[in-house]
Every structure is written in C-alpha cells, then in structure tokens.
Structure 1
Amino acid sequence: MAHLIGLIRVITINDEELLNLHGKLIERAFPELRVISRSIEDQPKGIYDRESEEKAKPKILRLAREFEKQGVEAVVISCAADPAVGEARKELKIPVIGAGSAAASIALSLGERIGVLNLTEETPGIIKRILGKHLVAEAKPRGVENTLDLLTDQGKNAARKALEELLDNNVDVILLGCTGYSTIGFAKIAEEIARIPVVDPVIASGAVTLSVLRQRSCLIKT
C-alpha cells in the first residue's frame, strides 16, 4: 500500500504540471510514495534570502497543518533551507522532512569532502550545520538571484560553470543546495560532468521520508 505524503512548494505556482513536478520526481524514484503538492501564495520568486524566508514561514506552517488534517503520513518541505521545518515539527504529530537536511545527511553517507552548489551566496544554514567540517567548498551561478533564473539557458550555463569551480576543490560529493536544481533536472547533468555522486535535494527528501515511514510501520507491527 502506498504512503500518502504532502509536499509544500515554497514558490507560488499556478501551472499544475510545474506544481506537481517535485512530487512526480519522488513518485518515480519511490513508487511506494504518493504525493500531493501545494504551493504557498504571493511569492512568485520563492525563497531567495532571509526576508523572503521569514515571509514564507507562516504560509508553510498553514499548509503543513492542512496536510495533517487531510490525513497524510508525512510532510515534505521542498526547499534546501528547511524553512519552518523546526516549527512544524513542534506542532505536527507526523514526520516533517526538509529537503536541505535530507540532502546533507545523504551526502555525508557518500563522502568526506562535500561541495555545495547554491542558489545564492551562502550555503543554507541547516546544510552547513549538518555537514560541519565536511563542507569544503561552495559556489553559486553568477547572475542567478532566484529559482526562476535557473529555468533560463543563461542560468543553466552559469550553473555548469559554478559546478566546474567546485570540482577544482577536490570534492568527492556534490550537494545541490537548492530544489530549483531538481526542477531543471540538473543532477543528471552534474553527474555527467563531475563523475562523482551528486545529491538531488528533492530525491533525498523522498528517500528519507520513505525510510522514516518504513521504520514507523515496523515499530507499529512489533
């Protein structure tokens, strides 16, 4: 039986196909999960700095509460900064998974020297805290200021150049520090260029969610 999970997009999306894209990525990778996606309102550029993150938090919390009332088994917040994850965990009785902490945890299982490809100047705080000394390099695409910029050819080319900068630091794992990279399917491109493991934050969030739900199911049965 499939596990029903709710996924929160932290950018306002009116296009149904684009809204469901992250959920579809998770469902293809993990057929045991069925994903319902919703997006926050009035943030067409998503989260790209501290101010936009604070503005998004109450909206994310409201959607998380609604998902729990709807009966989902877990909530995924599809953003590498893990906005409102801590707050939601305090309120909800079901697991709340952040894409950033999920990606960082998986990256640590793959190597010692992690390079993070960010959207903006700094690596998200939650990723920094988890990686600790294993975060050895970080880079961002020049001219990219928000997730919409990644959808352009210029943004994708800039991401490739930033990836090459990371590889000059002798990293053994690349962590994509924005779920916008999942939207454009950049993990596959990055692996072809880098020839080392690349952690996609959306896929990572699905992997962690399924692992948590399997553990909960086993505990209930025993």
Structure 2
Amino acid sequence: MSKQGKKFKVGLIRVLTCEDTEVLYSHQRQIMEKFPTLDVETRCIPDQPEGIHSPKLCEMAIPKIVDTAKAFRDVDMIIVSCADDPGVRQIREALPGIPVTGGGETTVALALRYGSKIGVLGITDYAPDAYKRLLEGKMILEKPEGVDSTLDLMIPEGRKQVIASGKKLKEKGAEVIALACTGMATIGVAKELEEATGLPVIDPVLAEGLFAYYESIRR
C-alpha cells in the first residue's frame, strides 16, 4: 500500500498475444493472490501468437512492448512478464522515473539466494540474457524435449517433459531450479517440480510480484 493509502498499481505486459482471458490474466491473478496490496493491470502485445522463443521473435516484440508500456496510465511500476526481459531496458529509457523489471532478472536474483549451481529450465536451447549475464559459470541449462514455445507447455506431454528436465537438472548437480519461461508459471508447474526434485524452484511470475511488492513498501 502506498503512503497515500492507494494500492500500488503495476502495469503487467504479456508478450503472448492471447484472447483467452483465463490465460491472459493468469499472471495478474497469481501476483495479486500472493501480494494483495498490489493492483495489477494486464495488457498483451499484438501479433505475437507464439510469444517469444527466438532472438528474431524477441526483436520483433520489443517495439510492441515499449508501445504497450506507454499505453498504461497512472501506474507505479511496469513488469514485462517474460524471462527474456524484452524491452525492459528500452522502457526504462522511454519512461524514466517508473521502476521497470522483467521475469529474468528477478528470477536470477532469487535463485542466487539458494545456491551457486543454478539449473535453468526454459523453452529455448539458449539461456535468456539475464541468466547468461548474471549466472556466468554457475548455470546448468536444460530444455524439455519437444517444447519449443509457450503453447507446447499447455498440453500434458509438455508438462511431463518439464518434470523430466527438472530431474535431469538435479542429476547434473543443480542446487536450485530457475524457470526461464513465464509460460511455466502460467501452467503452475513450480510446485510439482519441487515435489519431483526436492529442489527449490523459482517461479518467474512470483519473482516479479515479489520485486513489485518490495518496490511498493519502500515508498
């Protein structure tokens, strides 16, 4: 809650174009359930039906993300709900004075609290920028078989492969699993991964929410 007694308002950007309200507002719901003093408004970018799962798609999305950020009114903070943190730097430049973060840098920051061997579980065969930049020499990367976009996570086989990849990360010595796709938060797989591996699992949507909550209480 802000000093003025109003809820801290967060503008949340989904990088997956989606008309299914259950999916579209899932990140908003998860954050507000855990952090009820936050008021989250969700917008999705246009013409990105598969979200972001390649450098080319990321490049295409950034101008849309910045435009979407500019469309929010009277928000106290902006979250780009994607582990790639696309457009975060550009929004900071375009909207100085408004705190901006993304799913990648927040997840990495929390993962480092739990160990020095970080299992990174995403949907690409490369790690998102924040993971590469902040986890140099500490990262073990794993990609679920047959999962190439966030849409693949929404079918039973995709979920099964996420769990199998989590177990592989544990076998390789991971001390904590940092999810590298917010689509894994959409399907709520973190708890199941923790039960299957016995490791802490950092959910990027809850990581974003935690950082927004911290920003709200320091004001």
Q: Which bracket does the TM-score occupy, shorter chain normalised?
A: over 0.9
Match of 1:54 in 2: 59
In structure 2, the gaps of 5 or more residues are 2-6
- Residue identity matched to 2:121: L
- Alignment partners' CA distance in 2, 1:123 and 1:65: 28
- Alignment partners' CA distance in 1, 2:13 and 2:165: 28
- Alignment partners' CA distance in 2, 1:22 and 1:77: 11
Deviation at 1:60, TM superposition (A): 0.3
Deviation at 1:209, TM superposition (A): 1.5
Does 2:116 match 1:112? yes
After TM superposition, list the pairs within 5 Å mapping 1:151-166 onto structure 2.
Answer: 151-166=154-169
Match of 1:42 in 2: 47
- Residue identity matched to 1:200: D
Deviation at 1:62, TM superposition (A): 0.5
TM-score, normalising length: structure 2: 0.95
After TM superposition, list the pairs within 5 Å mapping 1:79-98 onto structure 2.
Answer: 79-92=82-95, 93-98=97-102
Deviation at 1:174, TM superposition (A): 0.4
Match of 2:8 in 1: 3
3-state SS of the aligned residue for 1:75? strand
- Alignment partners' CA distance in 1, 2:196 and 2:51: 28
3-state SS of the aligned residue for 2:214? helix
- Residue identity matched to 1:97: T
- Residue identity matched to 1:126: A
The structure where helix makes up a greater share of residues is 1
3-state SS of the aligned residue for 1:111? coil
Match of 1:193 in 2: 196
Match of 1:220 in 2: none
What do the CA deviations read for 1:79-122 (whole angstroms, capped 9, x no partner)? Answer: 00000101111111210111100000011112111100111111
Deviates more, 1:122-131 or 1:182-191: 122-131
- Alignment partners' CA distance in 1, 2:20 and 2:116: 39
- Alignment partners' CA distance in 2, 1:5 and 1:129: 26
Deviation at 1:214, TM superposition (A): 2.0
Deviation at 1:130, TM superposition (A): 1.3
After TM superposition, list the pairs within 5 Å mapping 1:130-169 onto structure 2.
Answer: 130-135=134-139, 137-169=140-172
TM-score, normalising length: structure 1: 0.93
Alpha carbon RMSD of aligned pairs, Å?
1.0
- Alignment partners' CA distance in 1, 2:59 and 2:198: 37
What do the CA deviations read for 1:56-94 (whole angstroms, capped 9, x no partner)? Answer: 001100111111xx1010000000000010111111121
Q: 2:29 aligns with which of 13, 24, 27?
A: 24
Q: 2:215 aligns with which of 209, 212, 216?
A: 212
Match of 1:127 in 2: 131
Match of 2:184 in 1: 181
Identity among equivalent positions (%) equals 40
Q: 2:175 aligns with which of 167, 172, 176?
A: 172
Deviation at 1:212, TM superposition (A): 2.1
What do the CA deviations read for 1:147-189 (whole angstroms, capped 9, x no partner)? Answer: 0000011111111111111111121110001001001101011
